[in-house]
Structure 1
Amino acid sequence: MAQLEGYYFSAALSCTFLVSCLLFSAFSRALREPYMDEIFHLPQAQRYCEGHFSLSQWDPMITTLPGLYLVSVGVVKPAIWIFGWSEEYF
């Protein structure tokens, strides 16, 4: 019975991930222009991905903690290296 619970959890997690991906795709197709505060976040994330971490690079219009961008860099940079993606896509 305990093994079935693991399968149920995996199935629920997979379904949640699939629904999230479908919703993200639908929103991305419908909203082609920057939404809400994306005009501030996108340049900030690009600066962090380029390795510019100083406070002088921080946009004061952003209220998100800088740690979120550091985590993103820790995920995006290895993915670019592992999959051989070009940085021009980001």
Structure 2
Amino acid sequence: MRIDIMPEYEDDTLLSELLETADHFFNDFDCGCIVTKAIPEAAERIKALTKHGYAPCPKSDIWSGEHYYIKTREIERAK
């Protein structure tokens, strides 16, 4: 999921609204996971992501991107 908003609007309230809407993707689009990027300097974004169940995406043979966060359907069901 790509989140493109101007830095002055990147606050916990707005980001939380976007992430709550994205949670519907699990059922609406039968997604198994949602992945989005948050560079280390994006403190508000990282705070909102972790608050909504996203975790740093581990590097593997399949995934080597940096600064990505992931939320899986299993995490969503556990809420």
| TM-score (norm: length of structure 1) | 0.28
Rg (Cα) greater in structure? 1
TM-score by length of 2: 0.31
More strand by share: 2
Whose relative contact order is higher, 1 or 2, with alpha carbons under 8 Å and at least 6 apart?
A: 2
Higher normalized helix content (fraction of residues): 1
